[in-house]
Amino acid sequence: MEAVNLFDPLNIPEAHQRALAFEKQNRRVGGSFTPAGGNVGSGSGAPRGGPSQQKPGGSNTGPTSKGASSSGPRCFNCGETGHRQAECKRAGKRHLFAESEDEQYEEYENNPVYDEETEYEEEVVTGDVGVNLVVRRSCYTPKADGDDWLKHNIFHSTCTILGKVFTFVIDSGSCDNLISEEAVQKLALKTESHPKPYKLQWLKKGGEVTVSKRALVSISIGSTYKDDVVCDVVPMDACHLLLGRPWEYERNIEHNGRSNTYSFLFGGVKITLVPSKPKQLAAKQSGTLLTISQFQDELEDTDSVFVLIGKEVLEEVEIPDAMVPLLEEFSDVFPVELPDGLPPLRDIQHHIDLEPGSQLPNRPHYRMSPAEHEELRRQVEELISKGHVRESMSPCAVPALLTPKKDGTWRMCVDSRAINKITVRYRFPIPRLDDLLDQLSGASIFTKLDLKSGYYQIRLRPGDEWKTAFKTREGLYEWLVMPFGLSNAPSTFMRVMNQLLRPFIGKFVVVYFDDILIYSASFSDHVVHVRQVLALLRRDRFYAATKKCVFMTPKVLFLGYVISGDGIQVDESKVAAVQNWPTPTTITELRSFHGLASFYRRFIPHFSSIMAPVTDCMKGKMFVWTDEAELAFQVVKEKLTTAPILVLPNFSQVFELHTDASKVGIGGVLSQGGRPVAYFSEKLTGPKLRYSTYDLEFYAVVQAVKHWRHYLFHKEFVLFTDHDSLRHIRTQDKVSHKHGRWLAFLEKFTFVVKHKTGVSNRVADALSRRSNLLVSMRVDVPGLEVIREQLAIDPYFSVILQDVESGQKSDFLLYDGFLFKGNQLCIPDSSLRLKIIKELHGEGHVGRDRTLQLVQASYYWPTMRKEVDRYVKRCRVCQVSKGTATNAGLYMPLPIPSQPWVDISMDFVLGLPRTQRGNDSIFVVVDRFSKMVHFIPCKKTTDAVNVAQLFFRDVYRLHGLPSSIVSDRDTRFLSHFWRSLWKMVNTQLNFSSAYHPQTNGQTEVVNRSLGNLLRCLVGDHVKAWDQKLCQAEFAHNHADNRSTGYSPFQIVYSSQPRGPLDLMSLPVSGSVPKKVQDFVEGLCEVHNAVYDHLTRANLKYKQAADQKRRHVEFEEGDFVWAVLTKDRFTVGEYNKLSAKKIGPVEIVEKTNPNAYRLKLPSHIRCADVFNVKHLLPYYGESSDDETAGNMRANFVYPGGNDVGPSVEERAILYLEAQDRVRKGPSLKWL
């Protein structure tokens, strides 16, 4: 055991298995281990060499005959005579060898030897010393003297690979460099496919080996020689690494045949590699540890042999004096072995109900070695003798197998997977660990009883025995008691335990399978409780294992936790396992660590947040271990070593709930009396990562209450939070849907909200935030330390720094040499400010205010708002991709006409259902003075010629030619015919700005009114709308207009038309018709009144509209961004991710105060006149030299000058930039 611990194996079973495999290997090769001290040949350890041959005349230093004797005492340490073990000078030495031969090597002294007479500096290098990869065995034997060993041994030594020591061989007869598969697996070396795979038949005993992979191995021998060697990967037993001809050729190796050393030049130093010297084997009678083969030789040559067998001694169970009488009284409950025969047939037996129609399994038995078969046969016979198993004639069968125990012995198991697949499952509840622990509140003394082979104490239901049949080589057997491995066995066992202990469960007993924990508040009560439980066990003939029980102790290990009167704490053995856990190198290793650490997550505050970097490494197919994961890995180890003792909940006291949240996760602490009961944490994922601070804090409260609902329901508790707004969560009038759901859940609980203002909490939080900020910035910002120097020369911060150092400033402080304002790191005047703004704004190109919030969260400098505003305003991505302000340009109404039908507007209403006459559109003509309209049905395909015919037929014949026409940019109105026609009659055509229909707002308003009228008039006859146009036109012209105060008929004709009501019989007036002069005067009065009404209406509309608008004006030659609305794109070019602006473009003409003509690039095919609402000023870009100069764009390079260009230089750069903008071709259009 001491030798195994010396060489640091992974675990005891693995060391046992390795040693056993090594002895079997020796037996297969005929017992090459030579205890008589004969010479040890190279054997199979030398590739391409023949088998080892014993030299009968070899030189030996130890005794050569078994019967040799020496006078004086013999040392049990080294085997030599003349002194005792206590006087041995070789005490404490241990030797390790990992080859398949029985050679053992001794290292030379590690001090290098230099030859001063040679031309080069020479270094004699022996093998490395350290933890080796494989444990074989340890023998204590005397040292061999002389150089005869050099004749019969090839070069063996040790090297270091990734911090671990491996054996290696130099073999001139090997055509390749080789490394063992075992070494590659243990070191997790990366391999690649071999370009030329080949086969070997001489490395591994038995069979042919295919070499298909290779690896790059970094080796070091001594302190000077470090090299990378390409090695083929093979399942090799002789050594871990073999250096062949490729290595010798590349290093130009010189071999000394007599000293068996290899020399070569490396880095100007002559390196001489010296082989490790083999240990000469002692005489048989001097050996203190024997292998199986040695022991067999001893039996053949000796009449009597004394054998010392070591056995693990279990720790003696301490039994308190008060427990001794109880153990004597209930001695039958604690037998050494279970009584022979079957247990009693109780109310509950194990049932095996098979699914109807399922096929019975019949699996062959497993092949085993003779020794394994013998062990399996022995255990089966033992079970038969005890009455637990009998021979069977069952139609179904599954195989039996052996699995190793921790102590090296074997346990018989049955592979019941096939029968479990067709078994009906019974879902008896397994108790929750948390529920069991909660019952222990107030207890101070404990007794834990462990049943002896608990499953074997439960009978199978009579008639179900054949369903448990299993095979061995000797025959078919079936169980009479409940075996391990059946699917419903845990449920059956819990049912039996619950029925047995039901009177006491929840009072002073908790049970988890075969672990029975008795707990009491006082010693006297505990004696009574233990007696009652033992009486139940005796009544139902259940038996316990004394060695596994713990009696009347104030502290007990139960289900992985240490339970005491103080509360719950971690198991030191598991904490030690976490502490000694090496850094994971694969996802499998990482998952194992995560599972072990998660078992104790209730002891670590914010466990999910801390472990977030580690959890991220488990995602994806590739394993990448980051610096953040290593930091979290170490923090969790540290947290477990200082884990607090959690008190058990006392339901007679008030609970306190503390919650907190961050951008990574949320957490909570449930406490009583200032001591923690449990911790809770949750990592944020998905949409929750975008929650606001208020939502995160609210969410933390909800999740914590949900997690501990079983504690807090129907119990008043106090909720502590460091977010002051949460104090009013129950008094909010308006809440969102999400907050409403959370409030509805919290209404089920009774609690009081208190704001947490602990100074210690703030200090700890501030220290954590400052430390994390500096750690992250040191990674992202090279030369961060220069900030300390710049603070001293910064005009603003230098004064504050002096005040802080003298202790005068209270709102600033120094931390690790950096100046902080609260939790904000102070940034001196340098280009680091621009870098910070650029990085935080570039994360999502949020607006100015959001960017300012992000910067202010961690940093501080006096001109921050101005610089953020400047950068965001000039960000090219934001200017091109984001929307535009819609309130640019003041309201500018069209000029008011002087009389009816002098200034008109026209438009088309499209997309109507096709009527029987083929009409699907309406030609709308509006008089801008009287607001009179004419609705003319037409077709969508009507061209400019037909539109003109419609106008002269339905409008001209009634009102004559207008002096101006306002219309949009319909292709018919822009056609050459239309323009020529109206030019001939001296009518001015006015077109609205492209894609700005508000210019022709009068017609647009009429179009909306027309739609409402037609919907009311057509009813279900939607395809007869053209027959209702006359009625709609009359209704519109007959109604009073809000702008003019009169109806269009009254304005144009000075009287209202007669309607159906006018046909009624009325009294005849005796008045005389008015004179013509009176008529003309009356009509003029109406027109003047209309003009006044329109003037006042326009002024009213302008005042109302201008309240939400701003005046924007450009000059010719200015550069602007032009907004590209969806209508400006050709069909198929527009998508939602298209750039929303182009530019910068130059203004070439100001057509009116709200419209400008632009100089568009050639590839933009749209109207060049833009309304001012579609134009934005061009401020330059954040990457311009001007901006870089103002923000000092030379940041912190070693030896660099962090000063921006001079005024003259910035002026030259600005002029060059303007020149590039005006030239145009170099601009990039998005």
For 709-750, write each residue's pLDDT tens digit: 877 877 778 888 777 777 777 667 677 888 888 888 887 887
Closest-CA residue to 37 (of 297, 283, 294): 283
DSSP strand pairing (445-450 vs 410-414): unpaired
Record: fold of 887-1059+1077-1092? Nucleotidyltransferase; domain 5 (3.30.420)
DSSP strand pairing (903-909 vs 964-967): parallel
Q: What is the pLDDT of residue 299?
A: 67
Q: What is the pLDDT of residue 1080?
A: 54
Q: 460 with 522: CB under 8 angstroms?
A: no
Block residue for tokens 């499953």: 455
> Which amino acid is residue 234, in one-letter code?
V
Strands (E), 84-126: 105-106, 121-125
pLDDT < 70 regions, the chain:
1-124, 126-146, 201-207, 278-317, 406-407, 574, 577, 641, 730-731, 733, 756-784, 809-810, 881-894, 993-1002, 1058-1109, 1126-1139, 1182-1230
Q: Which residues of 413-439 are buried (b: 16+ CB within 10 A; e: fewer)?
A: ebbbebbbebbeeeeeeebeeeebbbb
Structure tokens at 888: 């640019």
pTM above 0.75, yes or no: no
Q: How far apart are CA 751 and CA 655, in angstroms?
A: 10
Q: How far apart are CA 648 and CA 441, in angstroms?
A: 5
Q: Which residues of 197-234 are buried (b: 16+ CB within 10 A; e: fewer)?
A: eeebeebbeeeebebebbbebebbbbeebeeebebbbb
Which letter does DSSP use for residue 169 in this model?
Answer: E
Query: Which residues make Cβ contacts (< 8 Å) with residue 36, sequence separation at least 6?
Result: 64, 66, 281, 283, 284
- The answer, yes or no, to whether the previous bond of 1144 is cis (omega within 30 of 0) is yes
Q: What is the pLDDT of residue 465?
A: 92
Q: What is the pLDDT of residue 481?
A: 93
Q: What is the pLDDT of residue 1014?
A: 81
Q: Which CATH code of 3.30.300.130, 3.10.10.10, 3.40.50.2300, 3.40.50.150 fits the domain covering 321-565?
A: 3.10.10.10
Level-2 CATH architecture, domain 581-643: 2-Layer Sandwich (3.30)
Query: Which residues make Cβ contacts (< 8 Å) with residue 900, sequence separation at least 6?
Result: 927, 929, 930, 932, 959, 1051, 1052, 1087
CATH superfamily, domain 122-137+146-273, is: Acid Proteases (2.40.70.10)
Q: Which residues of 57-87 are buried (b: 16+ CB within 10 A; e: fewer)?
A: ebbbebbeeeeeeeeeebbebbbbeeeeeee
Q: What is the pLDDT of residue 496?
A: 92
DSSP strand pairing (859-860 vs 824-826): parallel
Q: Which CATH code of 3.10.20.600, 3.40.50.720, 2.40.50.140, 3.30.420.10 fits the domain covering 647-771?
A: 3.30.420.10
For the domain bounded by 784-879, which CATH number is listed?
1.10.340.70
Sign of CA dihedral 320, 323, 324, 330: negative
Query: Which residues make Cβ contacts (< 8 Å) with residue 379, sequence separation at least 6?
Result: 410, 412
As a whole number of Å, the end-to-end CA separation of the chain is 76
Q: How far apart are CA 287 and CA 74, in angstroms?
A: 11
Q: What is the pLDDT of residue 1039?
A: 80
Q: What is the pLDDT of residue 301?
A: 63
> Which amino acid is residue 519, in one-letter code?
Y
Sign of CA dihedral 441, 446, 447, 448: positive
In a 13 Å sphere around the CA of 395, the CA atoms on its Cβ side amount to: 3
Q: What is the pLDDT of residue 141?
A: 34
Closest-CA residue to 445 (of 520, 529, 549, 531): 520
